[in-house]
Structure 1
Amino acid sequence: MKRSGFAATALWILAWTMAACGGSDASGEPSQGAVATGDSPQAAPEAKESADHGLGKLKCPAKIRTQTKGPDIIGLKLGMSRDEAVNIVRCHADDAYIEFEDRWFEPRGFNMHETTLEKQAFVALSGETSACDYSSFDRMQRCGAGGRQWDHVSEKIKVATPGIPGGETVVGVWRTQTFKEGETPAVDSVIAALTKKYGRFQVRQVDHVNNNLWSDRIELAWVRDADDTPLSEADPALGACARNVRARVDEGQVWRDGCGLTIAATLLAPRTNPAVVGEFSVGMMNQGALYAYQEALQLQLDDIETKRRANELEKAQSSDVDL
């Protein structure tokens, strides 16, 4: 069991992308009044340009060359390249601020040798911002991503894209939406939308939180085994596999060999009305495939180092020694 990077072999990607749990094959925007679960629209969206944000101009919808199967979250699928995932997010929310992270897997779990891994994950924020106020230390502390004060984060997306340079691949997707008062969807509507997209869930757990913000926390999970077969509710592995993958963007993730594709959803109901959803999150990983992917990363790092040393030795042997 390991914590949060990398791109793998063709067999690994094939095994991952063959995982199927319902869902659409294309990205799309939710219909008016519906929860944004990433269902595909019936008609192709009109072409538009996303914001630049230093990433270059992009015409939408984003072009996807990687052939992947299985479920999606706003069009993001496991097995896509990092660049494809970034473009999908930019087209989904053209005003999003995108920030890259240079680590996702725990570095202590690898011998990196002389290789530097960069842009192993990215986070996209959408919402309402204002200029940072540096007039006091307290106000300065409110300054956040992009050098802006985030007054309301309506959507936060995180995509894990670890891999050697040029081989960064999507291995996990998480999305959290936060709704303002008066814009909250009904709990029943959110669950119905999730069921329509991913099929019947195997796990449903309701915890009565009763803190200052939330009344109830509803956890749903869709879990498959390593052979891509849905786990039965009587399977003793179901609970352990379901608990590993957390839906919220900012929560830690673990995975284990033997568990397959896992989708998790978390609905937080506000104290003011437990029948509506104040925060909604959905996350997705293929646990067993990710376990193998992590091992493949070390093999690729070792291979890069072996070639580097061989090249260095070849140059050294051709050099004259001045004594």
Structure 2
Amino acid sequence: MLVAAVSTACGSSDESAAGPAQAAARAPSAASSSNSRVAATAAEIAKEARGKLRCPARPKSAPRAANAPVDDIVGVRPGMSYDDAVNVVLCSHELLIVDNSPRGGFKINTYGQTLRQGFGAVFAEDRINKTSKEIMAEMQNNAMARSMNKRAADMLGGTSRWYVTTMGLPNEERVIAASRIEAYVDGKAPSISGVAAALEDKYGPPMRKREDAQGWFLDWAYDLRDRPVTETSPMYYGCSAPSRPESGVNLSPDCGLALSAVIRPKRDNPLIAHTLEIGVVHQAQGYDLLMATEQQLERAEQERRAAELDAATKNADKPTM
């Protein structure tokens, strides 16, 4: 089994995209636009970062095969090209921008070539003019939040963030896995059972479903022939997807498509959903793509070295003895 953390990337954006939480996400920017400390509003930052992106997205990647299980998260699915995935993610909301924070990735020898192993997406935020003391305090708070894993619980309602894992030769990268977390607007959040029902309506009955104080956990998994994994299968506990954008990706040649979802409750009402985490991966396809990429990079490097040796044999200066 192969395991990867998450990666880095870059991308662009739009003027016409919108999502269901648009009004809620815009409100802080609109309200703070008169604040002299605001150097740039979230909307202004997003517009600049997204550039010439056109929405709605029009993916060129091949659609899902007929009769295959549903395998997308808001339109992003394994096998989609890197550029298509960026467009679909950013077009899901006009305030989403690509997150270039450095992350891990698959530990393979790229022989100096740059592979886009994935990209994140987050909501743009107002850029505030801060004092050095405020900057230091913010850095400490962010570090503490990461160490205590509070980021999901503290997400602003109406926002979302993504991570999409990709692999392939330069400019030919394809989606292996995708994860998204969405925080619901207070006062408009659905019930946990309602979110679970919506998930089952889209993806079908889950292979496994569990409820506890931390939330509801649902998993779907398929074998290499797209047949649902059952409780008697050895893959029942071995095939899953990364539901959180911060999670690593497991790849096995024995697992097919897998989806995992976690519905987290509000702190003061366990019946109401606060966040939905959901991830998808096709483990075997991702494993094959990773192996093929490694082999192609190694072959290209061997060919380069052979060509360099041939040129040196023909053109090199005679050594002085």
* TM-score bracket for this pair, using the shorter chain length: 0.7 to 0.9
- Worse-matched range after superposition: 268-277 or 152-161: 152-161
Corresponding position of 2:180? 175
Q: 1:200 to 1:102 in 2, by over 3 A?
A: same
The 5-angstrom pairing of residues 212-227 of structure 1 reads 216-227=214-225
Indicate conservation of the 8 Å contact 2:263/2:275, yes or no.
yes
TM-superposed CA distance for 1:90, in Å, is 1.8
Corresponding position of 2:299? 303
1:294 aligns with 2:257: no
What SS class does the counterpart of residue 181 from structure 2 fall into? strand
Structure 1: distance between partners of 2:104 and 2:63: 22
1:79 aligns with 2:83: no
Structure 2: distance between partners of 1:163 and 1:269: 38
Q: 1:51 to 1:167 in 2, by over 3 A?
A: same
Corresponding position of 1:229? 227
1:321 aligns with 2:317: yes
1:61 aligns with 2:56: yes
Q: Deviations over 1:280-306 (max 9, x none)?
A: 111000112222222212111111111
What SS class does the counterpart of residue 175 from structure 2 fall into? coil
The 5-angstrom pairing of residues 26-41 of structure 1 reads none
Number of corresponding residues: 268
Counterpart residue identity of residue 209, structure 2: R
Pick one of 113, 120, 124 that aligns with 1:123: 120
TM-score, scaled relative to structure 1 = 0.74
Q: Deviations over 1:176-215 (max 9, x none)?
A: 012243232111210111111111111001232xxxxxxx
Corresponding position of 1:19? none
TM-superposed CA distance for 1:103, in Å, is 6.3
Q: Deviations over 1:155-186 (max 9, x none)?
A: 01111122221111111010001224323211
Q: 1:99 to 1:172 in 2, by over 3 A?
A: same
Root mean square deviation of aligned Cα: 3.0
What SS class does the counterpart of residue 237 from structure 2 fall into? helix
Pick one of 237, 245, 248 that aligns with 1:249: 245
Q: Deviations over 1:219-240 (max 9, x none)?
A: 1011101221111233242122
Q: 1:118 to 1:256 in 2, by over 3 A?
A: closer
1:285 aligns with 2:281: yes
Corresponding position of 1:92? 92
Q: Which runs of 5 or more residues in structure 1 are unaligned?
A: 6-26, 33-49, 145-149, 209-215
Corresponding position of 2:201? 196
TM-superposed CA distance for 1:127, in Å, is 6.0
Counterpart residue identity of residue 205, structure 1: R
Q: Deviations over 1:113-133 (max 9, x none)?
A: x23224311110026545263
TM-score, scaled relative to structure 2 = 0.74
The 5-angstrom pairing of residues 129-208 of structure 1 reads 129-131=126-128, 133-136=130-133, 137-141=136-140, 152=156, 154-208=159-213
Counterpart residue identity of residue 264, structure 1: S
Structure 2: distance between partners of 1:318 and 1:99: 48
Q: Deviations over 1:101-147 (max 9, x none)?
A: 6765432xx233x2322431111002654526333121354579xxx
Structure 2: distance between partners of 1:158 and 1:297: 21
Q: Identity across aligned pairs (percent)?
A: 29
Q: Which runs of 5 or more residues in structure 2 are unaligned?
A: 6-16, 23-44, 65-69, 144-153
Pick one of 234, 237, 240 that aligns with 1:239: 237
Structure 2: distance between partners of 1:225 and 1:132: 53
